[in-house]
Amino acid sequence: MSNFQAAVMAGALRFAFGLPGPVRRLIAGAPIRLDGQDLHPEAQLLLRLQQLTGTEWRTRTASESRLDLELSSKLVSGPKITGVGSRDLTIGEFAGRIYTPRLLAPGSPLLIFYHGGGWVTGSLESHDNLCRFLAREAGIRVLAADYRLAPEAPFPAAADDAAEVLRYAVAKADDLGIDPRRIALGGDSAGGNLAAVTAHGAEIDLSFLLLFYPGVDASVRRRSREIFGNGFFLTDEKMDWFLDQYTPGGKDRHDPRLSIMLAEDLSNLPPTYIATAGYDPLRDEGEAFAERLAADGVPVVLRRHEGLFHGFANVLGVGGIFREAVSEAVGALRTGFALANSAQEVEETA
**Which residues does the annotation mark as catalytic?**
189, 280, 310
Q: Tell me if 53 sits within 8 A of 9, measured CB to CB.
A: yes
Beta strands in the chain (DSSP E): 33-34, 37-38, 84-91, 94-101, 108-114, 141-145, 178-188, 208-212, 272-279, 300-309
Look at residue 202 and give its three-state secondary structure. coil
User: What is the number of other CB atoms lying within 10 angstroms of the CB of residue 30?
Assistant: 7
DSSP 291-325: HHHHHTT--EEEEEEEEEETTGGG--SS-SHHHHH
Peptide bond into 156 cis (omega under 30): yes
Peptide bond into 151 cis (omega under 30): yes
Taking phi first (over 0 means left), then psi (-120 to 50 degrees means alpha), and beta for anything else, what does residue 208 get? Answer: beta
Question: How many Å apart are CA 326 and CA 328, to the nearest integer?
Answer: 5
Taking phi first (over 0 means left), then psi (-120 to 50 degrees means alpha), and beta for anything else, what does residue 79 get? Answer: beta
Question: What one-letter code names the amino acid at 244?
Answer: D
Helix 3-17 to helix 41-53 angle (10° resolution) is 140
Task: Give every CB contact of residue 64 below 8 A, 6+ residues apart in sequence.
Answer: 58
Look at residue 271 and give its three-state secondary structure. coil
